[in-house]
Structures are given as C-alpha cells and as structure tokens.
Structure 1
C-alpha cells in the first residue's frame, strides 16, 4: 500500500541506489515495450558522476518502505519531470503516484503552472491517468537506437486550488 511508504529528500549517497532503481525499472519493466538493444541504449553505460550531479541539481525525492528504497522522482526548476522510476517489486503500489504528487506540490509552490515529461511506452497509461496529455509522439536517438516515447504536459492548478 502507498501509505506504507515515506517520501524523503534525495541525499548525496543516494546516487547508486537511484541508478539501480532506474536500471532495474528499465530492464525489467520497460523491456516489455522495447527491444534488448533499445534497453541497453537507454539504461546501459550511465556515467555515475553525471547521474549524481543531475539529481543533486534537481528537486529529487526518494520513496522508501522502511529502509528499502522503492522509487524516486526528479523535477527541474522549469517544471520538467525528468525522472520517475519505481523498482519492479514496488510497481502498482501507489509509489509513482505519491512521488508525482510530491513533485506537483513542489512545482506549485514555485509558481510553476505546467509540468512536462517524456513518458516511455509503458509509462504512458500512468501519466494519462494522472492528467497528463500527449503533446507529441517522439523518436529519440540514443547510442544508435531509436527510442519511442511521448512528450506530455499537465496544467497545474495554483497551490490551494487543486482539482
């Protein structure tokens, strides 16, 4: 259940944990919609320092169950939901919804009126259910592979006027 999870701030020591969650989510969940070559282009060969620096610069939160990290989300200063990934064993437990809600609240507090994201094929239904709309289908080249995803956006109501 989602109520079993806590959301906390990202810490410098979380880089390896978040990288593992990301790679497992892509390799074990997104692999239903992408080829092995596409998965490797997406989740392989990640520079740990670049990864850590990116998450430290963004609004990044970690969902945990006890001491076990379950997922994470990162939001840029411009309202782009850069990452939202949940470990395979915590899929469909409300973790992603809680992380997204936390990011939306932070965006509203910063005066951001619109969130954007790039949703993978398997994440598309989640984002649509959360009120995001497709802006356009995309084909992104990464390490010689073409990855299909969707540019999406969601209008945010001002803080205190959720709905």
Structure 2
C-alpha cells in the first residue's frame, strides 16, 4: 500500500535537489523516470486514490507560489475546491498524470481531447527541480499519440514564463472572473 504524506510533511521535507537528465521519454501508461541526487521522479496515470493529493497540491501551489503574482483577494477566490466529487470526476474524465517522488505525489497535469491543458500544478516544496517539465513532456507525448497537433492553455502570471521557455506563444492576455475577482491570465498555444 502506498503511504500518503500530508501537506505539512511535504513542506517539512524541503526542496529536493536533483538532476533533470532524462532516463526515458514520456509515454501513456508507462512510468517515466528522471534520476536525481535524492531519488527518482516518476510520472504515471492518475488514479482515484490521488484525488486528495492533487487537491492539496492545487491549493498549496496557488496559496504559496501564485500568491507572488496575485493579490490576497484573488488567491482567496481562486484557491477553492468546493466539490471533491466533481474534482475527482474531472481528473478521471481525461488523461491526467501525476508526478511522484519517494512515493509521494508532488505534481499533476492533464490533457483534454481538444488539446487543452487545463491544469498543471507542482507542490511548492518541489518547484524548480523539473517536475513541471517532465509533466509537460508527458502531456505532449500523449497529445502526439492521440494525433493532437496543438496544445493550448490559460497560463497564470506565474506560469507564463515556464510555458514560454517550452515553446508556447501568447495568443492573448485576458481577465477572467473567479468568485467576484478578476484574475489576469494568458491564452497560450504550442504546435507539436
């Protein structure tokens, strides 16, 4: 049985120092590993057991990382999951991938059938070690497998530089409403 770590344990563990040398290409249904000084990052398909971990990562990433670019009121409006069952259904309804390190889920991403990358979040304690890059490589490989030639997303102010470094272009800056707050994000795309 896989041991679950709490959000406090993730934070207490600190940032993992690791190399981002690829040991394999991302393929749906197969583990992809990156070897590092303190362990291996693995990407696998989401399972129902991952629901609470992905919610915790989503909330922590917004509250602790995106809070550098958004106001407290915007963070409060954005960082909510009001219906756990609806969250679980969304994750299960499309290819969703989770990144693990030492048996803990530390990031996740997904891909909708039209090429929309709806979510990509990495736990704050694991930022900057290649988790998002590995997840994006996995999403891109899944898109190619499905014959999708274009991936698009709505990137936050925080995520925009990451996506630009990986070949995405800004289509438009936009202001979206979340629970009475207006948040700036960017429609972005990448042709595969």
Instruction: Provide the C-alpha distance between the structure 2 equivalents of 1:127 and 1:20, rounded to a whole number of angstroms.
Output: 23
Instruction: Provide the C-alpha distance between the structure 2 equivalents of 1:41 and 1:50, rounded to a whole number of angstroms.
Output: 18
* 1:16-72 CA distance string (max 9 Å, x none): 110000000000000000011101111124311111100000110100001111100
Please identify the structure whose Cα radius of gyration is greater.
2
Instruction: Provide the C-alpha distance between the structure 2 equivalents of 1:114 and 1:46, rounded to a whole number of angstroms.
Output: 31
1:63 to 65, 74, 99: 99
Structure 2 alignment gaps of length 5 or more: 1-17, 21-33, 35-39
Given the alignment of the two structures, is residue 53 of structure 1 paired with residue 68 of structure 2, yes or no? Answer: no
* 1:97-117 CA distance string (max 9 Å, x none): 000000000000110000000
Count, aligned residues = 156
TM-score, length basis structure 1: 0.93
Correspondences of 1:141-156 after superposition (within 5 Å)? 141-156=177-192
Instruction: Provide the C-alpha distance between the structure 1 equivalents of 2:177 and 2:45, rounded to a whole number of angstroms.
Output: 32
Large movers: runs of 4+ above 2 Å: none
Instruction: Provide the C-alpha distance between the structure 1 equivalents of 2:173 and 2:112, rounded to a whole number of angstroms.
Output: 22
Aligned-partner SS, 1:39:
helix
User: RMSD in angstroms over aligned alpha carbons?
Assistant: 0.8
Aligned-partner SS, 1:111:
coil
Instruction: Provide the C-alpha distance between the structure 1 equivalents of 2:182 and 2:189, rounded to a whole number of angstroms.
Output: 22
Correspondences of 1:107-122 after superposition (within 5 Å)? 107-122=143-158
- Match of 1:84? 120
Structure 1 alignment gaps of length 5 or more: 157-163
Correspondences of 1:3-152 after superposition (within 5 Å)? 3=34, 4-152=40-188
Q: Which moved more, 1:66-75 or 1:136-145?
A: 66-75
